[in-house]
Structure 1
Amino acid sequence: MTDCFVRVVLSTAPTQEAAEYLAETLVSEGLAACVNLFPGIKSIYRWQGELCRDNEVYIVMKSDAAHLPQLEARLRELHPYQVPAFVALPASHVSDNYGQWLHDNLKNA
């Protein structure tokens, strides 16, 4: 696909249950076509002036540029964190059949 509309969105969640809830809701609502969960990551970050170390679940969402504003708003609404990570990366290439599948599995924007 030369004009790649696909976005890969990265986030984290505090537990497997929270990550699965987010994934199932966002896919069910058509804001993400697919969500991958990677449990068992260790995050080291600064929060309110303190160094923190936590076990988290890494979340990788596949969506498109048109759904990013809705996806971000809904993730913030559902997420247990006060400031959830939301980092969207443009895909440099996506196969035609995967791009079509992704498009078909997102709600009409």
Structure 2
Amino acid sequence: MQAVLMVMKKYAIVFTTFPDRKTAEKICRKLVEQKLVACSQIINGITSIYHWNKKIEKSKECLCLLKTEKRLFNEVKNAIVSMHPYKIPEIIAVDISHIEEKYRQWIEDTIS
């Protein structure tokens, strides 16, 4: 059982946002092409409310969920930062604690 838990801790979902779908698709496609992520899901039309320049701002964005291995996080982060239009992009990784075995294997086969 211990080995199974260790395997599950290898994977992460990286959350990031973009100002529009075109930008999200362009950057997410590059991440997939470079095999930094196995899959990117783009969710249109989220509303973000946040502090910026001493004001509360509200904007429409696209949320992206990127499936990857934790060992690739720094490469994923650096690639996003280098292409992202925001001065301070949101890039957050969350460990995957449980994953369906065939999907896990697909991620591994895709980005290895």
Note whether the superposition's TM-score is higher than 0.5. yes
Question: What's the TM-score once normalised by structure 2's chain length?
Answer: 0.91
Q: Where do 5+ consecutive residues of structure 2 fail to align? A: none
Name 1:28's counterpart in structure 2: 33
What is the 5 A alignment of 1:2-17? 2-3=5-6, 4=8, 5-17=10-22
Larger radius of gyration: 2
Deviations 1:45-95 (A, max 9, x none): 011211110000011100011100100000000111111101100011112
Give the Cα–Cα distance (whole angstroms) in 2 for the partners of residues 104 and 12 of structure 1: 26
Question: What's the TM-score once normalised by structure 1's chain length?
Answer: 0.94
Name 1:64's counterpart in structure 2: 69
Give the Cα–Cα distance (whole angstroms) in 2 for the partners of residues 96 and 8 of structure 1: 16
Give the Cα–Cα distance (whole angstroms) in 2 for the partners of residues 69 and 103 of structure 1: 17
Give the Cα–Cα distance (whole angstroms) in 2 for the partners of residues 27 and 48 of structure 1: 34
Give the Cα–Cα distance (whole angstroms) in 2 for the partners of residues 36 and 77 of structure 1: 20
Shift of 1:2: 2.2
Deviations 1:3-37 (A, max 9, x none): 21110011100001001011101000011100000
Name 1:46's counterpart in structure 2: 51
Give me the CA root mean square deviation: 0.9
Identity %: 27
Give the Cα–Cα distance (whole angstroms) in 1 for the partners of residues 42 and 26 of structure 2: 11
Structure 1 residue 37 and structure 2 residue 42: aligned? yes
1:30 is paired with a residue whose SS is: coil
Q: Where do 5+ consecutive residues of structure 1 fail to align? A: none
The one-letter code matched in structure 2 to 1:96 is: E
The one-letter code matched in structure 1 to 2:44 is: P
What is the 5 A alignment of 1:68-83? 68-83=73-88
Aligned mate of 2:101, from 96, 100, 103:
96
> Size of the alignment, in residue pairs?
107
